[in-house]
């Protein structure tokens, strides 16, 4: 096991009917807040009204700012930071999925920084202070509700990068599975793929090959997520299934399963971010494409862990180590495919001929993330596995 630090101060309030607690949970952090939301589903479903009722009851005033889109943009975040400053606000309340939460974190960091918020994404500045963020989550996927990171797309440069810092852990996150009952089928699938890949980034990318504790946590969570996804697809209002997806996705990227693995990179995310930046693809859809491709690439040199994955998660025990490794990757790929996620570039409308155009964008992420071994030829090889 590798040395690690684990410090996750987010307070999670989980369960049916917990949404009305957002007001009291937010009040200690500010009397005037930016209320951030997405493309309107929270407004239409009545969730936003529940939130504002709760804020009102707790004596918290808000400035309503909807319109965060999937693959949220730097431009929107900059405008929101301007608004936050002009209005002299104290905190951000984010109501939505990862896009809204990540934007909230960028606003929180940018509002307390004299320079441009993009500096945090390119590594030119580190997040020091940040305004407090509280959240009401509406999508089981990114884990942003209980971690200190966030991702934005800079449309001008076509870069999709992330910021992080201890000050960005949400102070309180309300996780009410009923708020995900209306998540459409494809978004449910993409969310699960995102969470599963978060788990597998550390599982397949740890530097220590002998991590039984972390392995079993990951295998158990992946099994649970895949099973619960099918239950939620059959019945979108299946509370227990939605609850497992929500808590499972949170645990997938709150530091728990990564702790001790020595994992220093997120290669599948490195490959995916430029795809969704360039083609405005849902992040989970992009991961269903580059995930299996990267796994095939990585399993060539060290198939053992992949064979273990095949056996423990999918019950595939026959054949050589390499055969079992491939069977496990294929099982995950098939799982995605059968539930409507694209698993090859063309299925997402990306021409294989585009690969040379995509590669430099991935190189750029590799540089910013310090993953030097992903040279242009290596990246091209991996993308060809997704052709």
Asked if residue 9 binds a copy of itself (CB under 8 A), the reply is: yes
Distance CA 224, CA 243 (A): 11
Asked if residue 145 binds a copy of itself (CB under 8 A), the reply is: no
Asked if residue 14 binds a copy of itself (CB under 8 A), the reply is: yes
Q: Which stretch binds a copy of itself (CB under 8 A): 6-14, 57-65, 137-145, 282-290?
A: 6-14
Tokens 């989970």 correspond to 284
Phi then psi dihedrals of residue 65, to 5 deg = -135, 100
With H, G, I as helix, E, B as strand and everything else as coil, classify residue 210.
coil
Q: Which is nearer to a copy of itself, 18 or 187 (CB)?
A: 18
Distance CA 160, CA 361 (A): 9
Q: Which is nearer to a copy of itself, 98 or 177 (CB)?
A: 177
Tokens linked to 81: 């930071």
What burial letters (b/e) apply to 314-324, b meaning 16+ CB within 10 Å?
Answer: bebeeeeeeeb
Asked if residue 18 binds a copy of itself (CB under 8 A), the reply is: yes
Q: Which is nearer to a copy of itself, 65 or 196 (CB)?
A: 196
Asked if residue 11 binds a copy of itself (CB under 8 A), the reply is: yes
- Binding mask 252-281 toward a copy of itself (x if CB under 8 A, else -) reads ----x--xx---------------------
Whole-Å CA distances, 364 to 72, 104, 349: 19, 25, 23
DSSP H or E stretch at residue 247: helix 239-252
Whether 279 and 348 have beta carbons less than 8 Å apart is answered as yes
Find the binding residues for a copy of itself in span 176-215 (CB under 8 A).
177, 210, 212-213, 215
Q: Which is nearer to a copy of itself, 212 or 370 (CB)?
A: 212
Instruction: Name the residues that contact a copy of itself, by CB under 8 A.
Output: 1-18, 177, 210, 212-213, 215-217, 219-221, 223-224, 227-228, 240, 243-244, 247-248, 251, 256, 259-260
């Amino acid at each position: 096991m590798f040395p690690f630090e684990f410090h996750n101060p987010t307070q999670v309030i989980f369960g049916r009917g917990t949404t009305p607690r957002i007001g009291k949970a937010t009040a200690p952090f500010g009397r005037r807040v930016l209320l951030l939301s997405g493309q309107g589903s929270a407004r239409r479903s009545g969730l936003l009204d529940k939130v504002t009722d709760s804020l009102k009851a707790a004596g918290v005033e808000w400035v309503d700012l909807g319109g965060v889109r999937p693959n949220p943009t730097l431009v929107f975040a900059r405008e929101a930071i301007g608004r936050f400053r002009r209005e002299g606000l104290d905190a951000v309340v984010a109501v939505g999925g990862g896009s809204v939460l990540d934007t909230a974190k960028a606003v929180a960091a940018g509002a307390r920084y004299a320079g441009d918020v993009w500096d945090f994404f390119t590594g030119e500045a580190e997040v020091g202070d940040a305004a407090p963020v509280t959240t009401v989550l509406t999508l089981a996927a990114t884990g942003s509700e209980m971690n200190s990171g966030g991702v934005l797309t800079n449309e001008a440069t076509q870069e999709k990068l992330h910021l992080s810092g201890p000050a960005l852990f949400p102070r309180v996150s309300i996780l009410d599975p009923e708020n995900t009952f209306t998540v459409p089928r494809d978004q449910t699938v993409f969310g699960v793929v995102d969470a599963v890949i978060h788990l597998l980034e550390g599982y397949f990318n740890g530097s220590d090959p002998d991590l039984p504790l972390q392995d079993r946590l990951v295998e158990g969570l992946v099994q649970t997520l895949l099973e619960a996804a099918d239950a939620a697809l059959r019945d979108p209002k299946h509370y227990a299934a939605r609850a497992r997806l929500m808590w499972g996705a949170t645990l997938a990227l709150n530091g728990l399963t990564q702790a001790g693995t020595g994992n220093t990179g997120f290669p599948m995310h490195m490959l995916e971010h430029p795809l969704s930046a360039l083609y405005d693809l849902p992040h989970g859809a992009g991961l269903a494409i580059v995930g299996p491709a990267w796994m095939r690439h990585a399993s060539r040199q060290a198939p053992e862990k992949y064979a273990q994955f095949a056996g423990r998660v999918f019950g595939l025990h026959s054949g050589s180590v390499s055969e079992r490794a491939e069977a496990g990757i294929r099982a995950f790929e098939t799982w995605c495919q059968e539930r409507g996620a694209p698993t090859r570039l063309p299925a997402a409308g990306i021409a294989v001929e585009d690969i040379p155009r995509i590669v430099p964008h991935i190189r750029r992420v590799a540089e910013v993330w310090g993953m030097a071994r992903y040279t242009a030829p290596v990246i091209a090889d991996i993308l060809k596995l997704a052709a």
